[in-house]
Amino acid sequence: MIEIKHLQKTFGEKHVLKDVNLNIPKGKTTCILGGSGSGKSTLIKCLIGLLEVSGGQILVDGRDITKITSEVKLAALRRRFGYLFQEGALFDSMSVGQNVTFGLKYLTDVPEKDYPKIIKEKLALVGLREDVAKLNPSELSGGMKKRVSLARVLAVEPEVILYDEPTTGLDPIMSDIISDLIIDLKAKLGVTSIVITHDMHSAFKIADYIAFLYEGNILLYGTPEDFRKTDNPYVKQFVTGSSHGPIQMKLMKE
Amino acid sequence: MFASVGRYVLNVLNEVGGSADMLRSCVFWLWRSKFEWRQTVEQSVNIGVNSFGVTALTSLFTGMVLALQAGNTIGSIFGDPIFVGTLVTFSLVRELGPVLTSVVVSGRAGAAVTAQIGTMAVTEQIDALYTLGTNPIRYLVIPRMVAFVCTLPVLTLFSNLFGVIGGYLVSVYALNVPGEVYLTDITSFVDIEDFMHGFIKTFFFALMIGTVCCYKGISTRGGAEGVGKSTTGAVVTTIVLILVLDYFLTAILTAFGI
């Protein structure tokens, strides 16, 4: 469904993505692993057109989206994608209910009279009660914010959901609840999911495929089983979470 | 030293270019999308209605102090405080009304606009707007720009009125000038061109305040510290630009006989 070919992204002199090649299959969950600052978020921001690429192609159903320059066409493309932000990025001037239905007004023709039903339905899908709709984002816990943000994404029924570190900053139980949610959504809605994470427990649980991003390139792509069995010292060190290994040595050299 | 001057110039040019690009986007989206009425009305209340009290108070006291200074100075030269109404109204409608109102609105509402949009930028809410099919220029910037352009001229009208009232109070009750004389001084010597001179300026000031404050907000980076820097930068830039723009607008309008 999505093919990333020789993707490059530079910020000034800094080459964050050097030559990323990756296939994202339809209806599957692909986790992109990598350390902090490895360019994971940059990669998915390029996918949704929030960042302009410096080189390469991103093909969505065979169409190169990096060539789209029209703001109107770019908005149409974003209709197919949903993005779950790391901190939720809920609009703090609106209630939870207004946040959930925000995208409906701009991306769909759903009449406003249907909004209450959709709020109830989407909040239930992420395990929240209807009365949460009246609250303001500032009244929510970290986990609830992420779930409301996910309900906002689901309201517009995207084909692809991009999750930016969905379990970061949450306690282990809430992290597991979010992981279960991602699995449930794939099963119920058949959405294609791309999950940026460095939470190995979550990655192994939710992923159909995993890609390891290191120094601007995909170092390893495969199933969770491939990652468990790999001999690649970089990947092995990351998977085991050890402070000793080539990644640490590289940091010390810098 | 040359390097830092060069960096500063590049930074200024970058901001001017960014602001111009944002204005271009405003024009693009203004004609191609549904107008955000609700947002615009909300922002007009925030920017205009909520600034009414502070601009009225500022103008009232400006008119009062103008009358006091003019009355005492003219009185010491000619013996009587004559033409106080003319001086107060002339100064207010041509210069002080538009400039002071713009400075107050920039400090109160402009800062709030930059801080709000800046906070949205650093908490990824602007990116979230994009992903939900909403261009932030259309949703955030245009309503605020329209609100500035619609409310600042109206606020200036009221400021002028309150300034004239302040001058009247001081003239009549402190300088013992008869009320009719104060009003005749205004109607005899201040004409519609003087009023238009100041009124036209407010549209340019409003457009500039809206552009600078929204651009500073949207381009905010670096968390809470970044929001603080952007807000301070927006207020300082707009106040300086109001004064600079005022000079050039005065020169141009005068050349056109207004």
Tell which wins on pLDDT, B232 or A198: B232
Instruction: State whether A1 and A71 are in the same domain.
Output: yes
Question: Helix, strand, coil shares of chain B as percentages rounded to 5?
Answer: 90, 0, 10
Nearest C-alpha in A relative to B129: A103
Residue A251 has a pLDDT of 54
Answer whether residue A46 is part of any domain.
yes
The model's confidence at residue B58, banded by pLDDT at 50, 70 and 90, is: very high
Instruction: State whether A2 and A75 are in the same domain.
Output: yes
The whole-angstrom separation of Cα A155 and Cα A122 is 6
Residue A8's domain comprises 1-80+158-229
The contacts of residue B20 (CB under 8 Å, 6+ apart) are: none
CB crowding B37-60: b at 16 or more within 10 Å, else e: eebbeebbebbbeebeebbbebbb
Q: What count of residues does chain A have?
A: 254
* Number of structural domains in chain A: 2
Contact A254, A37 (CB under 8 A): no
Chain A (78-117) residues lying within 8 Å, Cβ to Cβ, of chain B: 78-79, 81-83, 85-87, 89-93, 102-103, 106-107
Distance of CA B131 to the CA centre of its chain: 34
Instruction: State whether A197 and A143 are in the same domain.
Output: no
Residue A233 has a pLDDT of 87
Contact A96, A45 (CB under 8 A): no
> Hey, are the CB atoms on A78 and B125 less than 8 Å from each other?
no
Q: Which of A71, A87, A102 sits opposite B135 (nearest CB)?
A: A71
Contact A126, A148 (CB under 8 A): yes
What's the Cα-to-Cα distance from B230 to each of A87, B222, B224, rounded to whole Å?
22, 10, 10
| Of the candidate ranges A238-252, B44-58, B64-78, B149-163, the one whose mean pLDDT is the lowest | A238-252
Instruction: State whether A127 and A32 are in the same domain.
Output: no
DSSP summary character for residue A11? E
- Boundary (domain end) residue, out of A122, A157, A192: A157
Q: Are β-strands A55-60 and A2-11 bridged in parallel, bridged antiparallel, or unpaired?
A: antiparallel
The whole-angstrom separation of Cα B99 and Cα B159 is 10
The mean pLDDT of B153-158, rounded to a whole number, is 97
Angle at Cα A204 formed by Cα A200 and Cα A209, nearest 5°? 115
Answer whether residue A178 is part of any domain.
yes
Q: Where are the beta strands (DSSP E) in A12-159?
A: 14-24, 29-33, 55-60, 63-64, 81-84
What share of chain B in percent tops pLDDT 90? 76
The whole-angstrom separation of Cα A201 and Cα A180 is 12
DSSP summary character for residue A159? S
Rounded to a whole number of angstroms, the distance from the CA of A238 to the nearest CA of chain B is 28
Q: Which of A72, A89, A92 sits opposite B127 (nearest CB)?
A: A89
Answer whether residue A214 is part of any domain.
yes
Rounded to a whole number of angstroms, the distance from the CA of B118 to the nearest CA of chain A is 13
- Residue-wise pLDDT for B164-222, tens only, equals 999 999 999 999 999 999 999 999 988 999 999 999 999 999 999 999 999 999 999 99
How much is the CA Rg of chain A, to the nearest whole Å? 19
The contacts of residue B116 (CB under 8 Å, 6+ apart) are: A93, B217
Answer whether residue A112 is part of any domain.
yes
* Number of structural domains in chain B: 1
Rounded to a whole number of angstroms, the distance from the CA of B72 to the nearest CA of chain A is 51
Answer whether residue A85 is part of any domain.
no
Residue B223's domain comprises 2-255
Instruction: State whether A66 and A6 are in the same domain.
Output: yes
* Mean pLDDT in consecutive groups of 10 residues from the start of chain A, 254 residues: 92 90 93 87 90 91 85 78 92 94 87 93 90 94 90 92 89 87 88 91 93 91 91 85 71 52
Q: Which of B124, B127, B133 sits opposite A79 (nearest CB)?
A: B133
Residues forming beta bridges with residue A6, ordered by sequence position: none
- B-chain CB neighbours of A83 within 8 Å are 127-128, 131
Torsion sign (Cα): A125, A130, A131, A137: positive
> Hey, are the CB atoms on B132 and A156 less than 8 Å from each other?
yes
DSSP summary character for residue A21? E
Q: Which of A72, A87, A103 sits opposite B123 (nearest CB)?
A: A87
Tell which wins on pLDDT, A173 or B57: B57
Residue A252 has a pLDDT of 55
Residue A253 has a pLDDT of 52
Angle at Cα A54 formed by Cα A53 and Cα A60, nearest 5°? 35
Interface test with B, best of A91, A94, A159 (most B CBs within 10 A): A91
Instruction: State whether A67 and A4 are in the same domain.
Output: yes
The contacts of residue B193 (CB under 8 Å, 6+ apart) are: B257, B258
- B-chain CB neighbours of A142 within 8 Å are none
Is some CB atom of chain B closer than 8 A to the CB atom of A230? no
Distance of CA A231 to the CA centre of its chain: 27
| Of the candidate ranges A162-176, B47-61, B145-159, B223-237, the one whose mean pLDDT is the lowest | A162-176
Instruction: State whether A66 and A167 are in the same domain.
Output: yes
Instruction: State whether A149 and A190 are in the same domain.
Output: no
Is some CB atom of chain B closer than 8 A to the CB atom of A71? yes
| Of the candidate ranges B25-39, B87-101, B104-118, the one whose mean pLDDT is the lowest | B25-39
ipTM of the complex: 0.86
Instruction: State whether A137 and A163 are in the same domain.
Output: no
Is some CB atom of chain A closer than 8 A to the CB atom of B33? no
Rounded to a whole number of angstroms, the distance from the CA of B150 to the nearest CA of chain A is 23
The whole-angstrom separation of Cα A236 and Cα B134 is 42
Instruction: State whether A106 and A8 are in the same domain.
Output: no
State the DSSP string of B137-184.
Answer: IIIIIHHHHHHHHHHHHHHHHHHHHHHHHHHHHHHHHTS---HHHHHH
What's the Cα-to-Cα distance from B84 to each of A100, B162, B163, rounded to whole Å?
60, 15, 12
> Hey, are the CB atoms on B133 and A78 less than 8 Å from each other?
yes
Interface test with B, best of A41, A83, A98 (most B CBs within 10 A): A83
Residue B102 has a pLDDT of 97
Residue A22 has a pLDDT of 93
Rounded to a whole number of angstroms, the distance from the CA of B207 to the nearest CA of chain A is 24
CB crowding B130-144: b at 16 or more within 10 Å, else e: bbbbbbbbbbbbbbb
Residue spans of alpha helices (H) in A14-109: 40-47, 71-78, 96-107
Contact A178, A167 (CB under 8 A): yes
Instruction: State whether A172 and A106 are in the same domain.
Output: no
Q: Is B207 strand, coil or helix?
A: helix
Residue A177 has a pLDDT of 87
Q: What is chain B's mean pLDDT, rounded?
A: 93
Rounded to a whole number of angstroms, the distance from the CA of B90 to the nearest CA of chain A is 43
